[in-house]
Structure 1
């Protein structure tokens, strides 16, 4: 599904362009096995007017906390990843959202996810992605509210 460039539309009309292959590299983090742990990282992209362009994602680092039903981003590699993109793009590309997995076929955000997004995602709209076993869930986090994205 994620091998080709995609343009997705949020309920508010915001377009989200996802470059080919960006989310494909996350396929092996899906929690297929019963003992799999949650994984996650940050999403790198840029704003184009009111739209978003997604160019890359970070993957779990050694210091991240990974449990069956919890992912905690603690490794400094995510910050380094974002800073590298910011510098190489002269400030146009940077942290634009979060992704993580859930051990569900059809994922939905948990109460803990919502609390974390309220705490961390401020300012411009941010993309939030949950990869499930069979399907994915995407939304924009805008002004402390979810704006759903159709797949």
Structure 2
């Protein structure tokens, strides 16, 4: 793990078993502690906890326009090293992950150049994984 302080995020899922398989087998997250209602995962060095919550049929995902794409709100994810993003996105493609926004490069050749992709977990939670060509540009204006 790097010198970055790990974050903790807890997300609701309506099918604990299906999401457990997704995070463990599709995203390759190491599983930690668990109970009948929650499971801890190591998401690239950060603690992700999926918590059972009954499905809400009326909950709609909002979108904001960014670079001609409809970015889902809310979403969560991790900023990865560039090479890790490249291999991870290829692995997700081979596993048949359905992308909301296919992996692509934003601001190519400019300040803040980044790779990004969006997809959903089986509970409908939107995930974004991104990487910066120069990590020093993470908070550049």
TM-score (norm 2): 0.27
TM-score (norm 1): 0.26
Q: Please state which structure has a larger fraction of its residues in strand.
A: 2
Bigger Rg over Cα: 2
